[in-house]
Amino acid sequence: MIKEAVSEIQGVLDAYQRLAPIMIHTPVAPSNILGAEKAGEIYLKLENLQRTGSFKARGAYNKLATLTEEEKKRGVIACSAGNHAQGVALAGALLGIRVRIFMPLQAAKTKIEATRNYGAEVILAGETFDDTKRITLEAMSRSGEVFVSPFDDRAVMEGQGTIGLEILQDLPNVDNVIVPIGGGGLIAGIALAIKQLRSETNIIGVQSYQVHGMISSIWRQELVANRSSKTLADGCDVALAGELTYETLRSRIDETVLVEEKDIETAIHYLALKEKVIAEGAGALSTAAILSGQIDHLLKGKRTVAIVSGGNIDFSVFKEII
């Protein structure tokens, strides 16, 4: 049984060894305020303190580090609203691989500038992430570059899964892990690691009412798109989740939560003023789920980790919320 468990997550374990010298083992910080309010132990996994300000650097580096020499020479191409872009750009800089990134026209200026500062070529195209992805794949078919998916890739997903290993190291008896969902790479990777090593831990996924392709797919038990309008959680603005991430997650998720845009604003405000944590919209989704009161029954008397997945919020948006 132990051998089977290790075999299932060998890629995550390999990624952990690969990333350990490069990435930060981010802190799991107790939230005394939320813990007292919800009558349980609540911790924040601060991936906003990761290199590039987001968990995305983990999966991006793991993917680029496992490319063949021939693939590295071809260069890589990716599409992103910002955090995956920075992760791929950083990985390319560290590994000496040429990087070209397509980003939506409405991507945050801070994320565009940061991606360029890491040395990547940035091209703005498409009104939404899904438009940008289509344009990127068309460009890849002409150029021969290696496409680095923001989520629907085994190496990317396994890189994100190293967060699950860190959580179990720091809190071996964790009862709940609350994770933001976009295309599903983060939650699928974490669920893969944690469910294999501690099956009784609840995996709770959170999305906005405005965009919830993965949660809709989980509900319907088939991969479907769902997007009514843009969301403050722009890093999770993915209408159609990945096939690999959906298949990985659908048997490993225990609870789903949808939050209003106002809940996300409240969470950003709360994290900044009460916890002294700067979170972008996607990074605040897990905290929004807690503050919304929808999962109080799961939190009482339990040990819960909420993933703060990123802190790359546009200053003008942050200023308006605060």
Residues 6 or more apart in contact with residue 268 via CB below 8 angstroms: 232, 279, 280, 281, 284, 313, 318, 321
Q: Are residues 102 and 218 both part of a single domain?
A: no
Q: Are residues 223 and 286 both part of a single domain?
A: yes
Task: State the pLDDT at residue 111.
Answer: 85
Predicted confidence (pLDDT) at residue 76 exceeds the cutoff of 80: yes
Residues acting as catalytic residues: 56, 309
Task: State the pLDDT at residue 312.
Answer: 93
Task: State the pLDDT at residue 1.
Answer: 34
| pLDDT tens sequence across 230-278 | 999 998 989 999 999 999 999 999 999 999 999 999 999 999 999 999 9
Task: State the pLDDT at residue 32.
Answer: 97
Task: State the pLDDT at residue 110.
Answer: 82
Average predicted confidence (pLDDT) for the chain: 95
Q: Are residues 130 and 158 both part of a single domain?
A: no
* Strand partners for 308: 46
Q: Are residues 140 and 229 both part of a single domain?
A: no
Task: State the pLDDT at residue 6.
Answer: 61
| pLDDT tens sequence across 276-319 | 999 999 999 999 999 999 999 999 999 999 999 999 998 899 99
Tell which residue, 151, 153, 122, has the closest CA to residue 139.
122
Range of the domain at 87: 56-147
Domain boundary among 132, 147, 162: 147
Q: DSSP letters along 292-308, please?
A: TTTTHHHHTTSEEEEEE
Q: Are residues 110 and 207 both part of a single domain?
A: no
* Structure token digits, residue 29: 């910080």
Q: Are residues 245 and 315 both part of a single domain?
A: yes
Over residues 110-127, the mean pLDDT reads 93
Residues 6 or more apart in contact with residue 45 via CB below 8 angstroms: 26, 27, 28, 163, 166, 167, 305, 306, 307, 308
**E strand intervals along the chain:** 28-30, 41-46, 76-79, 99-103, 121-124, 146-147, 176-180, 202-208, 255-259, 303-308
Q: Are residues 257 and 307 both part of a single domain?
A: yes
Alpha-carbon distance of 121 to 89, in angstroms, equals 9
Q: Are residues 260 and 297 both part of a single domain?
A: yes
pLDDT band for position 157 (cuts 50, 70, 90):
very high
| pLDDT tens sequence across 25-47 | 999 999 999 999 999 999 999 99
Predicted confidence (pLDDT) at residue 58 exceeds the cutoff of 50: yes
Alpha-carbon distance of 322 to 237, in angstroms, equals 22
Domain boundary among 121, 147, 173: 147
Neighbours of 208 (CB within 10 A): 30
Q: Are residues 20 and 133 both part of a single domain?
A: no
Q: How many domains does the chain have?
A: 2
Q: Are residues 39 and 13 both part of a single domain?
A: yes
What CATH code is carried by the domain that includes residue 28? Answer: 3.40.50.1100
Task: State the pLDDT at residue 285.
Answer: 98
Q: Are residues 206 and 260 both part of a single domain?
A: yes
Domain boundary among 114, 147, 180: 147
Alpha-carbon distance of 144 to 75, in angstroms, equals 8
Q: Are residues 226 and 276 both part of a single domain?
A: yes
